Amino acid sequence: MANNNYLSTLAPGFKPKVYNLGKIPAYQYKGSLGQELEAGNITAQQAVAVLEDMLTIREFEEMIVKLRTGAYESCKGYEYRGPTHVSIGQEATAVGCCAAMAYDDFITSTHRGHGDSLAKGCVAIRGMSVEELKARIPACTADKKKDLMEVALEDHVYRAIAELFGKEDGYCKGRGGGMHIADFKAGHLGANAIVGGGVPIATGSAVSSRYFQNGKVTCCFAGDGAYANGVVLESLNFAAMGQFTDKEYTKRPYGLPIVYAIINNHYGFTGRVDGEVSGTQCVARRAAGFADNNMCAEVVNGMDVLACMDAMRRAAEICRKGEGPVLVEFDTYRNYGHSLGDPRFEYRTREEEAEWKKLDPIANLERQLLENGCITTKKLEALKEKVADRNARMAAKAAWSKDPAPADVIKYMYADTRVEVVPEKFAAVKAEGELPVIKRSEDGQITYKDALKEAMIEEMLRDSRVVQWGEDIAEYGGAFKVTKGLIDAFGRERVFNAPISEACICGTAVGAAMTGLRPVVELMYMDFGLMASDQISNQAAKWHYMSGANIEVPLVYRASVGGGKGYGGQHSQTLESMFAHIPGLYVVYPATPADAKGMLKSAIRDNNPVMFVESQIMYNFKGVVPQEEYLIPLGKADIKRAGDQVTIVTWGPMLYEALKAADMLAEQGVSTEVVDIRSLVPLDMETILASVRKTGRCVVASHAVGIGSFTGEIASRIMAEAFDYLDAPVLRVGAKDGIAPQAYTLEDAFLPHDRDLVAAVRQLL
């Protein structure tokens, strides 16, 4: 068994002791620009660049304020309709953090993320080589880095404003807008309109960096309000897991390289963390609950860009040494309300606002630049004019630039790519131990769960980027033993247990997929997917579209479903219909062992997020499964039995009930065709319609409850697209519109059976 020394846990003896939660330092930085210059931590040129970036953010945000009243001169006549979550006053945190990182590190951001995006892009552009700059702005004919950089910075401002305005030239082609702005080529993995929604994504990107050992650090920007959010706290716990650093667990003791940057501007919407919605003196105190070293937590003056740079420089270094994660709280202030429509003086005073404005980070740095001779008054004014002029020109250009074509409204909903050939550096895979043995019967049969396991073994041997995590999937092999033995074969770097944190499991998979891994994560029961629904539905499903196809999210969520085992209302739901309602997500549900293997292999190779549904009652079903390499395409139905009088369209365990019903109907002289759709999204309507046009009658059946079931979607489309061929209405068969009961007699009555299908067909005839 792999790395299992930790399994021998001794009883503690229960001797009296006191756990010391340590101290969290606050406001320790006492430096100045003069001292930073003397120490060589920054040059005068770099200090001026930091000021320029803060001015760029301030000008951008003040433009939004003026746009709301029509006072932005260069955009006269343009009506701005987007969000107005400005970060005026917080510029030091965005610029200070990004300036202290490597230019190709990662960030994630929030709905108030324009400043973070601008800062990350500016820093990335300054760090790029001439070749990288030319690739970023291919239309530019300049050769000198300085000239290329100026053009790239102008283009950066333009594309950010264009995205804010919902234009085709925006970073995400106008699909994401200001609250979802991203620049993946600059390491910006996206702003998030769900409070705390980007935190597990950032954590997943750090999982990826740790796995690839590429030295990249992720800075996760999130506000104070996010740190009361469940998935955020789950992410802190996930990041600090001992199995990443404990030599008893892993051959690579290396903590997650992530800095959780809490931007504490003192207000969630109107509620204050301080003394109102939190019981701690500082948000950084949260760290004490997740790591014995308090995640190296500290509180920093977020109004001093030099203090922010100092903190992030040290935090990033800790991460690069493998001693992360790190949590830093930046104490700052937003000068406006939650949005421009927020009457902020209903919950805070003008006096409070005036006191904070005295600490303005831009004015503070300007003063120090002048005092230390880094810039003259004349050049300072010229710099301000340059920034304002650049923003005005780019805003005018963006305002009247091309809108996305209405015909392209759902363009980019799905990726159309898959891994046909694994890159050489990921294809040379060696197992670390013996592979699990899949035992076949004499006629070549194996169980459904072994078919899944065989698919995962083959794909993990094919591509080292395929990694797995989930609850209890390591030594134990998962609740249904589907992953049993994989950790022995591939080690804890590729197969590891996750905390009981379904939202974090699903969200970290998104960040890891964005940054190079191909995660296969397990939802023990699909019921738990409701706890993880934001990360599945708002994150995994949407980022390909919201990014304007700038990023792919290749991951697989394996989820067991269904009743029949007496597990009751919270472990027996068949919920694939819910996730089929989410555009951007594939939902597949194979019923036979052969289909399960071929479709899981296809799902792992696909570059879309896939909800891979598995019925608990089918895990021990047997069928013939080829040993040679084969794939079954997603979105292709299969006719499991031919007939010409009635069609039964189904999926999952109802396939077996349908085949039994077809036998019973055959004895009554009724020829039944059984169509196994295998995939809900994408849906093979052509095969369904061809069958219905032949038979003229149809029953659509599944294990899901009738209300809101995907059976209704299929029935509706048949009625709309094959009405002239129908000799009777399309009927549906499913579970009762209720909650799955535990009692055997009740569960048997709750679930649909072959007899229900026979009765429906007799009704049609």
Residues belonging to the active site:
502, 571
C-alpha span between 106 and 188 (Å, rounded): 6
* CB 523, CB 473: distance < 8 Å: no
Four-CA torsion 334, 336, 338, 339, nearest 10 degrees: -140
List alpha helices for 176-304, DSSP H: 199-212, 230-239
Amino acid at 469: W
- 111-148: b or e for each residue (b if 16 or more CB lie within 10 Å)? bbbbbbbbbbbbbbbbbbeeebbbebbeebebeeeeeb
Amino acid at 491: G
* CB 489, CB 435: distance < 8 Å: yes
Number of H helices, E strands in the chain: 25, 19
- With vertex at residue 213, the alpha carbon angle to CA 210 and CA 214, rounded to the nearest 5 degrees, is 110
C-alpha span between 702 and 751 (Å, rounded): 9
Strand partners, 261: 221, 328
List alpha helices for 372-411, DSSP H: 377-399
518 phi-psi bin (left φ>0, alpha ψ -120 to 50, beta other): beta
Handedness of CA 522, 524, 529, 534 (dihedral sign): negative
- 38-72: b or e for each residue (b if 16 or more CB lie within 10 Å)? eeebbeeebbbbbbbbbbbbbbbbbbbbbbeeeeb
User: ω into residue 436 within 30 of 0, thus cis?
Assistant: no
Long-range CB contacts (within 8 A, 24+) of 77-83: 78/165, 78/399, 78/400, 80/165, 81/166, 82/164, 82/165, 82/166, 82/177, 82/178, 83/111, 83/177, 83/178, 83/179, 83/339
Residues 6+ apart with CB under 8 A from 465: 426, 516, 517, 518
Q: Which DSSP symbol is given to 259?
A: E
Long-range CB contacts (within 8 A, 24+) of 420-427: 420/605, 422/462, 422/463, 426/463, 426/464, 426/465, 427/462, 427/463, 427/464
C-alpha span between 248 and 250 (Å, rounded): 6
Handedness of CA 514, 515, 519, 522 (dihedral sign): negative
